[in-house]
Amino acid sequence: MNRPDPSQLPVALPDLDLLTPDDVCALLKVKKSWLYDTVESGALEAVRLGKQLRFRPSAVARYLDSSTARR
């Protein structure tokens, strides 16, 4: 099977490096329960891959920007 040429992909490649819930919890220094509650409320965008949650780095950055702007 041939892999696509990365230069031909329409999506920015750095955002394809998805973060796990453990990664996000470590970055934000929060508990998993807080992370899941935040995703369920719609405040933080997550990608579902089957039963697994993954996070785009840009979504985490947007969440941080929006929560900083509210204060």
- What is the DSSP-derived secondary structure letter of residue 8? G
Is pTM beyond 0.85? Reply is no
- The answer on pLDDT for 2 being more than 70 is no
φ, ψ at 14 (rounded to 5°): -60, -30
**Model pLDDT, residue 67:** 83
Domains of the chain: 15-70 (1.10.1660.10)
Spatial contact of 18 and 54, defined as CB atoms under 8 Å apart:
yes
> Which two structure tokens, joined as six digits, stand for 1?
């099977």
What's the pLDDT tens digit per position in 10-36?
A: 555 567 789 999 999 999 999 999 999
